[in-house]
Structure 1
Amino acid sequence: MKILKLGSLVILVMSLAVKAQLKSGFYSTSCPTAEAIVRSTVVSYFKKDPTIAPGLLRLHFHDCFVQGCDGSILIAGSSAERNALANIGLRGFEVIDDAKSQIEAICPGVVSCADILALAARDAVDLSDGPSWAAPTGRRDGRISLLSQASNLPSPLDPVSIQRQKFAAKGLDDHDLVTLVGAHTIGQTDCRFFSYRLYNFTTTGNADPTINQAFLAQLQVICPKNGDGLRKVALDKDSPAKFDVSFFKNVRDGNGILESDQRLWDDSATRRVVQNYGGNFRGLLGFRFDFEFPKAMIKLSSVEVKTGLDGEIRKVCSKFN
């Protein structure tokens, strides 16, 4: 396991203080093997299919953006949050359910599904050659899950101004925005979510002019006009399975896949962060992504959490008690 060396103590201290009710090692006495069980479960699924890693990360992100990090995304049902249009393609539910069933067998009614999801997302990043961090725990599970409440999720069509508003509503600034979107360094998307950029971006049918012309030709081969909209495309063309800074270099060079990602280069504030992570055209060194990403994840995973006597500890993650 790759452990973040430089600054790891700072991250640990911050994780202990970021939310009074959340703390690293929350289950050290009540269920000391909880984190190890989550880790081994994620490892087991990752070995079979490494693409489960971005799935778990996205699952946690989408959970936190609706009613906070309370496991509401895990509830099954036709009117539940997971069935919202913005949550199409979410995966990793079976990983969380598996870890939960194992933990319930030894520590019934102790560990929340929301915490299992937060830990699984952390482990998914680590297994993808990204950083690891002391994830604060102590969340409780929410009792509400409605697809109608998922309208505030970021969209691949959002300009930076709208992305900024949605992140700010959760207490996240421009630096957090760009850092967290950097999770697109791993994972895939469907042609249907960006093919309009290739053929009909304007009323005259032109391609998005911000796309690098050489890359545009490659994408048009992968996603032909009127072709299979479900065909998968890596969000990071250079190292799609490795958690690194190549995503930011792609955005810098006009090789972003999603419109919302490429637009980060259009805004002066978000462009500075992209430059710092990916290096600007003069090759200057910038922020360390592997140091900043854990800080942003700790901040995100503390959004509107339920602690103390709020919510519940579900017996099964896909349904309320």
Structure 2
Amino acid sequence: MQSLWSSGGPTWDVPKGRKDGRVSKIIETLQLPAQTFNISQLQQSFAQRGLSLDDLVALSGGHTLGFAHCSSFQNRIHNFNSNQSVDPTLESSFAAGLKRACPTKNTAKNAGANLDSTPTTFDNRYYKLLLQGKSIFSSDQSLVTSAKSKALVSKFASSQQEFQKAFVKSMIKMSNINGGQEVRLNCRVVN
């Protein structure tokens, strides 16, 4: 076992022996779920990798950290559909802030928004914001569109401990997904 941790977040032991790839290929990132996926598409994508709805909701909590460029959520704040400019699932003042950060004719390459209001802290704020309609990606907001996933979001929003426990369990499960070529002697260096 090897202990891994995230900055300020939970720690967990990961079994040694996972096969890693030798090179990174951009084509492999196309297999990742898109930020525009609905709950059914997300569930299908995770199920193809042997991950459950519980894993989906827990691992989505990783969006408690980080930043999103305007291009990744522009579809929600400008010309959402033929009837509405803004995604109606967005809380109105939150949507207005996103529109200010990412105007229609945005030219700033680094413009965007934090994924949650504490982007450098591994906490359950992400789930609290989902329940308020303050998510950056429509795929995140879709987690509150089914009764079972919304119940998990609510559970994690009310308990940092439950979120971290589920996150660790799902990270360990995800680490067992096969697909690499070699077991590395040092995880940072190709053998």
What's the TM-score, normalizing by structure 1? 0.54
Question: Alignment partner of 2:68: what SS?
Answer: strand
Following the alignment from structure 1 to structure 2, what is the Cα–Cα distance between the partners of residues 192 and 145? 23
Cα distance, 1:225 vs structure 2: 1.4
More contact order relative to length (CA 8 Å, sep ≥ 6): 2
Paired residues of 2:18 and 2:178 also in contact (CA < 8 A): no
Determine helix, strand or coil for the equivalent of 2:14: coil
Partner residue of 2:83 out of 175, 196, 204: 204
Pairing 1:247–2:116 present: no
**Structure 2 CA distance for partners of 1:229 and 1:171, relative to 1, 3 Å:** farther
How has the CA–CA distance of structure 1 residues 139 and 286 changed in structure 2, closer, same or farther, with 3 Å as cutoff?
A: closer
Match for 2:44: what amino acid? Q
Q: Distance in 1 between matches of 2:119 and 2:24?
A: 32
Aligned length: 190
% identity of equivalent residues: 33
Distance in 1 (CA, whole Å) between partners of 2:120 and 2:42 is 25
1:274 aligns with 2:121: no
1:233 is aligned to 113
Partner of 1:6: none
The residue number in structure 1 matching 2:16 is 137
The equivalences for 1:1-321 within 5 A come to: 24-25=1-2, 122-123=4-5, 125=6, 127=7, 129-142=8-21, 147-228=26-107, 230=109, 231-236=111-116, 238-279=117-158, 288-304=162-178, 311-312=181-182
Structure (1/2) with the larger strand percentage? 2
SS in 1 for 2:113: strand
**Which amino acid in the other structure matches residue 301 of structure 1?**
S
Instruction: State the TM-score, normalizing by the size of structure 2.
Output: 0.87
Q: Tell me the alpha carbon deviations over residues 102-144 of structure 1, each in whole angstroms, 9 at most, x when there is no partner.
A: xxxxxxxxxxxxxxxxx7xx33x1x2x2111112211233468
Structure 1 unmatched ranges of 5 or more: 1-23, 26-118, 280-284
Question: Is the Cα contact below 8 Å between 2:123 and 2:160 reproduced in 1?
Answer: no
The Cα offsets for residues 222-256 of structure 1, whole Å up to 9 and x where unpaired, read as: 111111363131001x2111000100011100000
What stretches of structure 2 of length at least 5 have no aligned partner?
A: none
- Give the superposed CA RMSD: 2.7
CA 1:141 to 1:212, structure 2 compared with 1: closer, same or farther past 3 Å?
closer
- The change in CA–CA distance for 1:220 and 1:141 in structure 2 (over 3 A counts) is closer
Task: Identify, as 1 or 2, the structure richer in helix.
Answer: 1
8 Å contact 1:189–1:232 — kept in the other structure? Answer: yes
